[in-house]
Amino acid sequence: MGTGGIAAGGDQVMNAFDEELTRAGVTDAVLKEHCKLHKVGCRGFCARDVLVDISIGEEGSTYQYIEPSMVKRLVDEHIIGGQPVKEWLVGEDYHVFHDNQTKIVLQDLGRVDPESIDDYQLAGGYSGSRKALGTMSPAEVIETVKGSGLRGRGGGGFPAGLKWEFCAANEADERFIICNADEGDPGAFMDRSIIEGNPHAIIEGMIIGAYGIGAQTGYIYIRAEYPLAVERLGIALAQARKEGHLGEKIYGTGFNFDIKVKLGAGAFVCGEETALIASIEGERGMPRSKPPFPANKGLWGKPTIINNVETFANVPPIICNGAEWFSSIGSETSKGTKVIALTGKIRNTGLIEIPMGMPLKKIIYDIGGGIEDDRLFKAVQTGGPSGGCIPQQHIDLPVDYEGLRSVGSMMGSGGMVVLDETDCMVNIAKFFLTFTQEESCGKCAPCRIGTKRLLEILTRITEGHGRDGDIELLQELAEDVRDSSLCGLGMSAPNPILSTIKYFRHEYEAHIREKKCPAKVCNDLLTFLIRPDQCVGCGLCKRACGVGAVAGEQKLVHVIDQDSCIRCGACYDACKFNAVIKG
């Protein structure tokens, strides 16, 4: 019952179970005592929604692609009859998908009801905050987080405990703690899914962090485009206050703390911490020069800690299990796990959690199931629109902060978009730069003007008007924008250009010198032809053409007038006989 599951029909499936159980004579009294209809958050394997678990005693079965019309049979045969419906069960690939992961942040997603604080507490929830406030000093909390090696999961990878220590060391009458839930990367849904599936984990992490630094007020900055996450966050906060996890004298101690929710308007730049602070203060979301850093002078000029959703969700397990436990997972320099949104040209799209240092190949082929339609793997873009494209030659690269940085990419918040042989890398660079250029706040000239000039050059190249020297111009300008922009948006926006030039320069050269797109993606560089041996004269291509470039009589071979063709590709999309080809 996360956003993906609901979009696939989760609401209707749950209602159907309610109706069918009633029809089968399972009364409300019996239902409460013996049978629980239980909603959960994202299970991770988003491509198989709607997913349904049926557990009877110790035996559990997971079903995939469930629709309301299938529910009656599940109730009659499995719940009442005790016999699973084998043809609807998940396959071995579902188990391989999960078995290759190491789950800390996602361990309770798919198990707890996100709208039930009782579920969370039965799973051990709020034991970390009780331990921290009841048995540890603020300094011990910070030392534990430092010792764990936890680095900020929002993109920069700065050690979380060290940031907390800097903040706590500042003399101030007031400090603040902020959860950055302003997830805006295309293809990223990590933070949204965590909040939708287990909002109490973030609240508990913030309680522990606030105790460590001495903050009495916290903010969760979340974009308004996440209505389900916002709703469940509101429910969880109300429950936490009622149960005494928030408010005055928490757990009978002298510590007071509460959390407010601030809705963002969807500006990508507000993911940058100083722009986020400006937005909470009621100002336009634009970055500020650093130093001073927020840990010294942040919200309303007070020392402030900002970490993202995933970072805070890691804190309660660290407090419960100890720093050594967490630091034993992952790589030498990147401890713990990383939640990744795995998307693109891959069989198993979804939400995964891997130990830091896992090779790209294992993620793509073992967890992800390989490339769709058995096409060739070409590259993977990591780190959101500001990340780089990693080619096939680096498929054994360990996924951690240093590994990704060594090949010109970045961890970012954890988006991973897999590309295959049908993708044009020049067009990919243009796609991501289009996004970052539109999202530039315009405060500094290198980002405001530089990204626009970069996009103009890329557009010219993909439209067949590239010129000698454009590659060198792109590279020089990209480096200038990277080195002189005010904030992380401008500094990282050129990464897709620099990485694609580094690894796929031949594609740029083909676009510019040969006026050809090797992947046959950029329509302005294509020629559409009709194969006489395949054309049956059905006329679909002729009817689809909006400029009358296709000629031919019914049941006779059609032809395309190249002088009239505007290369829109409508004829190619319309043809059902593979007679229209790209040249």
pLDDT of residue 32: 54
Q: Tell me which residue of 130, 143, 322, 138 sits closest to 212, measured CA to CA.
A: 138
Bridge partners of residue 350, in order along the sequence:
342
pLDDT of residue 551: 94
Bridge partners of residue 401, in order along the sequence:
none
Sheet holding 258-264, edge to edge: 258-264, 217-223, 176-181, 304-308
Same domain, 127 and 245: yes
pLDDT of residue 33: 63
Which pLDDT band holds residue 24 (cuts at 50, 70, 90)? confident
Can you tell me the mean pLDDT for 109-115?
Answer: 93
Q: What are the distances in angstroms from CA 402 to CA 47, 356, 411?
A: 30, 11, 9
In a domain, 521, yes or no: no
State the chain's mean pLDDT as an integer.
93
- Phi, psi values for residue 262, rounded to 5°: -115, 120
Q: pLDDT tens, 289-310?
A: 999 999 999 999 999 999 999 9
Last residue of a domain, one of 292, 327, 362: 327
pLDDT of residue 483: 95
- Of 32-36, 110-114, 523-527, the poorest mean pLDDT is in 32-36
Which pLDDT band holds residue 30 (cuts at 50, 70, 90)? low
Can you tell me the mean pLDDT for 387-391?
Answer: 92
Task: Indicate the length of the chain as a whole number.
Answer: 583
Same domain, 192 and 245: yes
Same domain, 171 and 298: yes
Same domain, 221 and 298: yes
In a domain, 554, yes or no: yes
Same domain, 278 and 222: yes
In a domain, 111, yes or no: no
pLDDT of residue 26: 66
- Of 16-25, 47-56, 272-281, 435-444, the poorest mean pLDDT is in 16-25
Last residue of a domain, one of 402, 420, 438: 420
Does residue 127 have a pLDDT over 80?
A: yes
Same domain, 185 and 290: yes
Does residue 238 have a pLDDT over 70?
A: yes
Does residue 47 have a pLDDT over 90?
A: no
Bridge partners of residue 582, in order along the sequence:
528
Domain CATH number, residue 474: 1.20.1440.230
Task: Please identify which residue in the block is written with the tokens 């295309």.
Answer: 186
Q: Tell me which residue of 74, 91, 93, 90 sits closest to 14, measured CA to CA.
A: 74
- Contacts of the segment 124-127: beta carbons below 8 A, 24+ positions apart: 124/320, 125/200, 125/201, 125/204, 125/316, 126/200, 126/204, 126/243, 126/245, 126/316, 127/316, 127/320
Contact 106, 339 (CB under 8 A): yes
Contact 86, 33 (CB under 8 A): no
Same domain, 138 and 262: yes
Last residue of a domain, one of 368, 400, 420: 420
The amino acid that residue 371 corresponds to is I
Cα 458 from Cα 465, distance rounded (Å):
10
In a domain, 98, yes or no: no
In a domain, 102, yes or no: no
pTM beyond 0.95: the answer is no
Same domain, 197 and 302: yes
Can you tell me the mean pLDDT for 49-76?
Answer: 93
Can you tell me the mean pLDDT for 356-374?
Answer: 94
In a domain, 322, yes or no: yes
Domain CATH number, residue 50: 3.40.30.10
The count of structural domains within the chain is: 5
Q: pLDDT tens, 217-232?
A: 999 999 999 999 999 9
In a domain, 97, yes or no: no
Same domain, 63 and 169: no
Which pLDDT band holds residue 447 (cuts at 50, 70, 90)? very high
Can you tell me the mean pLDDT for 79-85?
Answer: 90
Can you tell me the mean pLDDT for 350-376?
Answer: 95
Same domain, 408 and 477: no
Does residue 247 have a pLDDT over 80?
A: yes
Same domain, 274 and 170: yes
Domain CATH number, residue 376: 3.10.20.600
In a domain, 96, yes or no: no
Q: What domain range includes position 59? A: 3-90
Same domain, 189 and 83: no
Does residue 31 have a pLDDT over 70?
A: no
